[in-house]
């Protein structure tokens, strides 16, 4: 007799919210879960680089030239252990990598967020207004996407010059087209659904329909594109910085650290460019793995 109310209470609790389903679907793939865990650690390191780094690699009073070119695991004059060795100026490589992660991730995420905003707004405009506007925007997108990202970036860099802001602008201009295309494709499908029609019948403003009704429903594919594009942006920034046409030396990202190591690699100091590369690789692989799983979870066609 006393069981009935219990059932009545617990039954509604068992109803899955879409968010719960999303979390449990995501956790199905253990590799992706591990990648997410690694990614969280990397983001943590990037944010708290100045707190957790063993030394400050850019504090000239702390860096000693006598500690230069030490192999991984050696001790400094002051008894500090350099777990990953030091570079040619005596900077602790582990600390440099922590600081480099901050710059690489910062530039990648910042450009990704701006490109997301710019690209999806343009994509929404194309889808919502259609006609001449749509044709013009999508022609530009098509033409840009027919050139590889590195080429577009090189053209922009040679036009804009060096600097953090310039690199971010270049990365945004490289990426916006992907977002625009994705949003337009999804929005074209969503536009013809009933809830948009209902919203139009309520005489809501165009802005409100586009941003409050259309955009939230275009989010799933956007999230997937955003993860993949951020990994891309980080990799592209590293490549440009390695080539010496990316970030200035005052902003030592992972790509610049690798470039510095390149100069001494031929004399056997492998660690100076090896470990920053590993850090870059782990970052990109974990973002890609998380993105892959997001794609599987958020794709309605794959859901049972």
Judged by the rule CB under 8 A, the positions of this chain that interact with other proteins are 139, 143, 146-148, 150-151, 154-155, 157-161, 231, 235, 238-239, 242-245, 258, 261-262, 265-266, 268, 270, 273-274, 277, 280-281, 284-285, 288
Q: Which is nearer to other proteins, 141 or 157 (CB)?
A: 157
Q: Which is nearer to other proteins, 196 or 279 (CB)?
A: 279
Provide the minimum distance between the beta carbon of 248 and other proteins in the complex, in angstroms, as a whole number: 13
Provide the minimum distance between the beta carbon of 207 and other proteins in the complex, in angstroms, as a whole number: 30
Closest CA to 45 of 105, 112, 113, 91: 105
Provide the minimum distance between the beta carbon of 147 and other proteins in the complex, in angstroms, as a whole number: 6
Interatomic CA distance for residues 123 and 259, integer angstroms: 37
The contacts of residue 103 (CB under 8 Å, 6+ apart) are 247, 251, 252, 253, 254
Q: Which is nearer to other proteins, 23 or 151 (CB)?
A: 151
Interatomic CA distance for residues 249 and 256, integer angstroms: 7
Q: How many CB atoms lie within 10 A of CB 15?
A: 7
Provide the minimum distance between the beta carbon of 278 and other proteins in the complex, in angstroms, as a whole number: 9
Provide the minimum distance between the beta carbon of 82 and other proteins in the complex, in angstroms, as a whole number: 20
Q: Are 196 and 266 contacting, i.e. CB atoms less than 8 angstroms apart? A: no
The contacts of residue 59 (CB under 8 Å, 6+ apart) are none
Provide the minimum distance between the beta carbon of 106 and other proteins in the complex, in angstroms, as a whole number: 18
Q: Which is nearer to other proteins, 170 or 218 (CB)?
A: 170
Q: How many CA atoms lie within 13 A of 143 on its CB side?
A: 6
Closest CA to 196 of 183, 180, 181, 212: 212
Q: Which is nearer to other proteins, 137 or 231 (CB)?
A: 231
Provide the minimum distance between the beta carbon of 180 and other proteins in the complex, in angstroms, as a whole number: 18
Q: Which is nearer to other proteins, 94 or 173 (CB)?
A: 173
Q: Which is nearer to other proteins, 41 or 151 (CB)?
A: 151
Interatomic CA distance for residues 181 and 56, integer angstroms: 43
Provide the minimum distance between the beta carbon of 303 and other proteins in the complex, in angstroms, as a whole number: 21
Q: Which is nearer to other proteins, 87 or 190 (CB)?
A: 87
């Amino acid at each position: 007799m006393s069981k009935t109310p219990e059932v009545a209470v617990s039954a509604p609790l068992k109803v899955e919210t879409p968010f719960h389903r999303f979390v449990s679907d995501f956790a199905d793939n253990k590799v992706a879960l591990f990648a997410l865990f690694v990614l969280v650690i990397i983001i943590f390191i990037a944010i708290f680089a100045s707190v957790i780094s063993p030394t400050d690699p850019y504090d000239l009073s702390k860096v000693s030239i006598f500690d230069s070119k030490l192999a991984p695991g050696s001790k400094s004059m002051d008894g500090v252990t350099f777990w990953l060795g030091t570079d040619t100026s005596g900077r602790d490589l582990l600390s440099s990598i922590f600081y480099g992660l901050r710059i690489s991730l910062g530039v990648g995420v910042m450009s990704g967020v701006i490109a997301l905003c710019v690209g999806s707004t343009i994509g929404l405009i194309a889808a919502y207004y259609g006609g001449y506007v749509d044709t013009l925007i999508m022609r530009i997108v098509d033409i840009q996407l027919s050139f590889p990202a590195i080429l577009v970036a090189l053209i922009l860099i040679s036009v804009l010059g060096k600097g953090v802001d310039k690199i971010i602008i270049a990365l945004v201009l490289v990426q916006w087209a992907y977002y625009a295309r994705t949003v337009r494709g999804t929005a074209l499908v969503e536009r013809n659904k009933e809830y948009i029609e209902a919203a139009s019948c309520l005489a809501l403003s165009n802005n409100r329909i586009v941003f409050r009704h259309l955009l939230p429903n275009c989010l799933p594919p956007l999230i997937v594109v955003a993860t993949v594009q951020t990994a891309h942006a980080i990799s592209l920034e590293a490549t440009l910085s390695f080539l010496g046409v990316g970030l200035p030396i005052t902003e030592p990202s992972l790509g610049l650290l690798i470039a510095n190591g390149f100069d001494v690699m031929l004399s056997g100091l492998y660690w100076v460019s090896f470990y920053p590369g590993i850090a870059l690789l782990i970052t990109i692989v974990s973002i890609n793995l998380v993105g892959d799983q997001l794609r599987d979870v958020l794709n309605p066609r794959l859901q049972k």
